[in-house]
Amino acid sequence: MSTARAQRILEGPVVPTLARLAAPGAVLALFQTAVSITDTAFVGRLGTDALAGLALVFPLVMLLQMTSAGAMGGGIASAVARALGGRREEAARRLVAHGLIIALAAGLVFTLLLLGLGTSLYALLGGKGEALAQALAYSHVLFAGAVGVWLANTLASVLRGSGNTLAPAVALAAAALVHVPLSGALTLGWGPLPRLGIVGAALAYVTAFLFASLVMGALVWRGPLRPRGADWRLEGRVFHDILRVGAVSAVGALQTVLTAVIVTGFVGSFGIAALAGYGVGVRLELLQIPLVFAIGQALVVMVGTNIGAGHGARAKRIAWIGAGLAAGISLTVGGLVAVFPGLWIRIFSHDPAVLAAGSQYLHVVAPFYAFFGAGMALYFSSQGAGRMVLPVLAGTVRLVVVVAGGAVVVASGWPLAALFAFIAAGIVLFGALIAAAVRAGRWEG
């Protein structure tokens, strides 16, 4: 991290510095939103079964992204930022080497598990017939390339941890520009390319992340954080420095995805159209993650650097300002779609049953998105501070409320809206409990 960049993070005005660090990620969020929307739109043209298959796999894709970019990526960015905040560049290089080893191992684990257990998992979620076949076709190709996703997100986290949020945003935006036309061409058979159906969307996803990993790998290897000979010597304490944030955060990510997976199973009991409608509706909630992630990754860097330099009070002030910004964004999105859900749902489907289920989800859940935005921002801030136990427990409470409530809804024969009400309650508790944890916590270097 350059001296000028570190000084801005440690001494500069909070809002302009946060905005400067978050801006590249916010622009990237637009590209990533375009990827998700266009992929869903392309697959939607294949029919309701393909759209339902995509909904079955989506929670696992979310787990892949959340663990590699948000959880372990947050652990790597936090550790690098704290090392550089304490002016320990050699320690930062060792962290990069160990982070890449974690990425290779974790990517292989994803590939082996999803290729081996995909059929049973998607069937457990309610997939059957052609919807299950579509889910497996998409999943097998995408998760075969899981290592590329892990490497790209790990290298992006290294760059962000050094205070450079622009380079990873540009690389990932370029990957999105590769992804969108390639997905359309391979899914629908544009021009001379074959019509591969849902497999085409998965191939585009894997290709784009491999491209991004090569670009960011070149950037890291040309910079001061390139690991050298002794940096590759494996040390337990270096792994611990990453994993004490990354592994605990991964538990939180797993809880979030487990919640989504179980809810997907509950919704599946209401029929394929309800599953497709829920998948489209919940995608908007999840599409806020890139926007909040932009603020969150800036918070990881700013909080981590200040913690490393011993500025705990400033770090907590930064966290609250970031939470307010994230809550404002989520409130704006949620308010709009709660009133006009068709603006979103009709992008993907005109099936009346799909429209009804998706609209019902947004009517009930979207008004509470502000709690989601604030909770996620404070979650990232806690990563920067290296204080993750209580935020993860907030996710546990959300999981228990949603799963227990959903089980009651299905067992009692209550309507789909009741299930969505428990989802909304879980979001409110998640945001409120993390806020309470940050307020009560002591953040020292």
Ordered by start, the domain boundaries in the chain are 21-440
Instruction: Report how many helices (DSSP H) and strands (DSSP E) the chain contains, helices first.
Output: 17, 0
19 CB-contact burial (10 Å; exposed 0-12 / middle 13-18 / buried 19+): middle
Kindly report the CA angle at 387 between 250 and 439, in degrees rounded to 5? 125
pTM of this prediction? 0.79
Mean pLDDT in the chain? 89
The mean pLDDT of 56-69, rounded to a whole number, is 87
pLDDT confidence bin for 275, thresholds 50/70/90: confident
Q: What percent of the chain has pLDDT over 70?
A: 98
Backbone φ, ψ for residue 379 (5° rounding)? -65, -45
Question: Cα(92)–Cα(88) distance, rounded to whole angstroms?
Answer: 6
Looking at this protein, which amino acid is placed at residue 111?
T
pLDDT confidence bin for 87, thresholds 50/70/90: confident
Residue 88: CB atoms within 10 A of its CB come to 14
4 CB-contact burial (10 Å; exposed 0-12 / middle 13-18 / buried 19+): exposed
pLDDT at 81: 87
Is residue 285 scored above 80 in pLDDT? no
Residue 312: CB atoms within 10 A of its CB come to 17
pLDDT at 3: 61
